[in-house]
Structure 1
Amino acid sequence: MSTEAYVYDAIRTPRGRGKANGALHGTKPVDLVVGLIHETLRRFPGLDPAAIDDIVLGVVSPLGDQGADIARTAAVLAGLPETVAGVQENRFCASGLEAVNMAAAKIRSGWEDLVLAGGVESMSRVPMGSDGGAWALDPRTGHATGFVPQGIGADLIATLEGFSRHDVDSYAALSQERAAAAWKDGRFDRSVVPVRDRAGLLVLDRDEHIRPGTTAEGLAGLKPSFAQAGELAGFDAVALQKYHWVERIDHVHHAGNSSGIVDGAALVVIGGEKAGERHGLVPRARIVSAAVSGADPTIMLTGPAPPPARPSPRPDSPSTRSAWSRSTRRSPPSSCATSRTWG
């Protein structure tokens, strides 16, 4: 008999700049997760740590500091009972969300009662793409599947959708303005957990990559980041082989209007109704259903735009348009294309 899966809490670290000079560069990924585990137990003193069945973490680059099942490592390092299991998984940019979906599915199936799910990524310590793979390392596989770097894909979306450099710069400036306003209004006060070192000293307590005062005019002077890779490394040619009706790709993206390269972690407490009652937890949301779907691997960033091809298995599920949808938000064109599709 299935049970409902409830979200009892959702917390995250501040996002540190994902470079060697970022505030979280000196903090190991496992310590980011451990800090969130400790905060969860602090918030819910009635929660018996032994009742946590599993920790599921999404990790896009599962090697080095983030390899060898960092979820299980974090459970042990946090001092949880040895019976608390842990697993890491990788669904690229949707890894953290997939961790939540996996946890909810196990709760609904009755296999588990209480799970911590989320993700961690320290891009300053484990750079994006450092895990290799056939797409990145094997030219034959990449060419046969139309694989290009995400920046080229984002530029192609802008070209296809008719988004100009000014359009994407304006959207990026608006995004920065909204983020700064949200911090000022205290909208992250409950969910963002300050990072401290093992001596208890404060390392970071707010998102480091927000740039208040960013304007489209200021961004206009930055050079495109992916023109050289597209033209000299041949990625434009690979993309245009599939999109043969496009004369050329307009390279509009740069460091100022692309998503941030950051360090951080997040954790969601998911459990059934009885688990909540036993441990004094109050539901904040209910996970009704989830669906996954692939997208064109060349432009890739339009994945959130089309509605899932498969209907929800739950007859009482909310309609696709009213349900929450995950968007990569990796670039202005992908966000704008998603908004345009959903209306």
Structure 2
Amino acid sequence: MAEAYIIDAVRTPRGRGKKGKGSLTEIHPQELLAQTLNCLAERGGIERGQVEDVVVGVVSQVGEQGGNIARNAVLAAGWPIEVPGVSLNRFCGSGLQAVNFAAMGVMSGMHELVVGGGVESMSRVPMGSDQSGSDGHNPLLAAKHFQVPQGISADLIATLEGFTREELDRFALESQQKAAVAQRENRFARSLFPVVDPVTRQVALDHDEYPRPETTMEALSQLQPAFAELGAKPVGPNGETMDEMALRIYPQAGQMKHQHTAGNSSGIVDGAAAVLLASDGYVRSHGLKARARIRAISTHGEEPLIMLTAPAETARKALRKAGMEVGDIDLWEINEAFATVPLQTIRTLGVDPARVNVNGGAIALGHPLGATGAMLLGTALDELERRGLATALVTLCIAGGQGVATIIERV
């Protein structure tokens, strides 16, 4: 099997994902991605016309993010019309899955130079815009596998694991504190580029604007649970609530404890990211300097109601493919969809918490759905270089009970 090398990784800042309140809300998602592609090409020092495909993750593929945003962004970026693009949706894992598919093209020997990445403008195309719900409103599927909103799943996992509200809030506070240090020390500078308003040509945003460094445990403790009302909503034919249905499938939980809030869950933001991958032959023939290689990739599916526990087994599969153990990984990026997700993964695998999300995560920085996985890979690579370390594992939980993971190794 051929090697897939990472030449470079870039991303936009994360802008607040509320219309009119974030600095990126007036910029079309095609333009966010187009600027990302051009920054990647410039920093990577490659000829745009030699890119054989642009693989892009995006969750809400409707409206401004419909119509194959990958191809449209290639055209919006002014790249040669010969460069194709394809969009995919693996929910929250879409950005990393796009990178993995791009890497597969190189590793199979079918591609020499490919881009993988993601984009999501949550302010312009909010969650739920495709009106599909969790199961496409298929009653036959619902009868086989009843699915609940992710917040209910997060609270169910926390209940089963025995995580307290204080533990969830403590993890959230540490995410904010680590992100504040990372911003203060410019740890994101290698990947991050300033987004320019395509109309005014002025810089719209040059830093992640979602973090709240002033956050305290006292402030977090005063936030109300975000999903208690939803859990009490009748959804079954006999008036059964979401919580009751979840507890019928997981009776060992006893009684649902709703503990996730806006403070210990991921933030809604806008952003885009892209990763440039090349074959060994392309790297050598074009005099490029690879930063890392893809060591292993994996996906995994688990029970769709609990939904968010797959990162642990997905990571195990990637480690087995790489011939590695948990302790061989220097840095971990476990997406902070909800505080319980990295906490459960850390506990299940026995990961050293000091190696996890060392620059904060989606609780502090935000989670631009389709872009997050590609962003995390770039963040991990930058931090490996900054610390002089070798290996990182990136993994994300995914709606419907899935996980995706990638192991990278510096070269």
TM-score for both structures, normalised by structure 2: 0.78
For the pair 1:138 / 2:137, whether they are aligned, the reply is yes
Unmatched segments (≥5 aa) in structure 2: 235-240, 351-411
Counterpart residue number, 2:297: 290
**Alpha-carbon offset, residue 134 of structure 1:** 6.2
Taking structure 1 as reference, are residues 131 and 68 closer, same or farther at Cα in structure 2, changes over 3 Å only? same
- The answer (yes or no) to whether the contact 1:50–1:84 under 8 Å persists in 2 is yes
1:214-233 equivalent positions in 2, closer than 5 A: 214-233=215-234
Counterpart residue number, 1:256: 263
- The answer (yes or no) to whether the contact 2:7–2:44 under 8 Å persists in 1 is no
**Alpha-carbon offset, residue 338 of structure 1:** 0.6
Of residues 36-45 and 175-184 in structure 1, the stretch that sits farther from structure 2 once superposed is 36-45
**Alpha-carbon offset, residue 313 of structure 1:** 8.8
Taking structure 1 as reference, are residues 272 and 221 closer, same or farther at Cα in structure 2, changes over 3 Å only? same
Counterpart residue number, 2:162: 162
- The answer (yes or no) to whether the contact 1:129–1:136 under 8 Å persists in 2 is no
Distance 2:146 2:153 in 1: 10
SS of residue matched to 2:273: strand
For the pair 1:275 / 2:279, whether they are aligned, the reply is no
Q: Normalized per residue, which structure has more strand?
A: 2
Counterpart residue number, 1:202: 203
Taking structure 1 as reference, are residues 206 and 54 closer, same or farther at Cα in structure 2, changes over 3 Å only? same
Amino acid at match of 1:164: T
Amino acid at match of 1:245: Q
Unmatched segments (≥5 aa) in structure 1: none
* CA deviation string 1:115-166 (max 9, x = no partner): 1111001111111122233635527333531311111111111111111111
* CA deviation string 1:205-262 (max 9, x = no partner): 1111100021111111111110000013421122112012333211111111100111
Taking structure 1 as reference, are residues 54 and 139 closer, same or farther at Cα in structure 2, changes over 3 Å only? closer
Amino acid at match of 2:75: V
Taking structure 1 as reference, are residues 63 and 277 closer, same or farther at Cα in structure 2, changes over 3 Å only? same
* CA deviation string 1:160-211 (max 9, x = no partner): 1111111111110110000110111111011111111113201111111100
- The answer (yes or no) to whether the contact 2:9–2:40 under 8 Å persists in 1 is no
Taking structure 1 as reference, are residues 311 and 11 closer, same or farther at Cα in structure 2, changes over 3 Å only? closer
- The answer (yes or no) to whether the contact 1:158–1:164 under 8 Å persists in 2 is yes
Distance 1:310 1:90 in 2: 22
Alignment coverage as a number of residue pairs: 339
- The answer (yes or no) to whether the contact 2:134–2:149 under 8 Å persists in 1 is no
Of residues 96-105 and 293-302 in structure 1, the stretch that sits farther from structure 2 once superposed is 293-302
For the pair 1:190 / 2:195, whether they are aligned, the reply is no
Distance 2:315 2:168 in 1: 27
Which of 305, 324, 342 pairs up with 1:319? 324
Which of 335, 344, 359 pairs up with 1:328? 335
Taking structure 1 as reference, are residues 312 and 210 closer, same or farther at Cα in structure 2, changes over 3 Å only? closer
1:51-66 equivalent positions in 2, closer than 5 A: 51-66=50-65
For the pair 1:304 / 2:308, whether they are aligned, the reply is no
Counterpart residue number, 1:211: 212
- The answer (yes or no) to whether the contact 1:153–1:299 under 8 Å persists in 2 is yes
Distance 2:70 2:320 in 1: 30
Distance 1:40 1:11 in 2: 6
Amino acid at match of 2:207: R
**Alpha-carbon offset, residue 306 of structure 1:** 2.2
* CA deviation string 1:4-26 (max 9, x = no partner): 10001011111111111111111
SS of residue matched to 1:304: helix
Taking structure 1 as reference, are residues 181 and 126 closer, same or farther at Cα in structure 2, changes over 3 Å only? same
- The answer (yes or no) to whether the contact 1:293–1:308 under 8 Å persists in 2 is no
RMSD: 1.9
Counterpart residue number, 2:380: none
**Alpha-carbon offset, residue 326 of structure 1:** 5.9
- The answer (yes or no) to whether the contact 1:259–1:329 under 8 Å persists in 2 is yes
SS of residue matched to 1:153: helix
**Alpha-carbon offset, residue 86 of structure 1:** 0.3
- The answer (yes or no) to whether the contact 1:134–1:142 under 8 Å persists in 2 is no
SS of residue matched to 1:8: strand
**Alpha-carbon offset, residue 3 of structure 1:** 2.1
SS of residue matched to 2:144: helix
Amino acid at match of 2:278: G
1:87-166 equivalent positions in 2, closer than 5 A: 87-133=86-132, 135-136=134-135, 138=137, 140=139, 141-142=141-142, 144-166=144-166
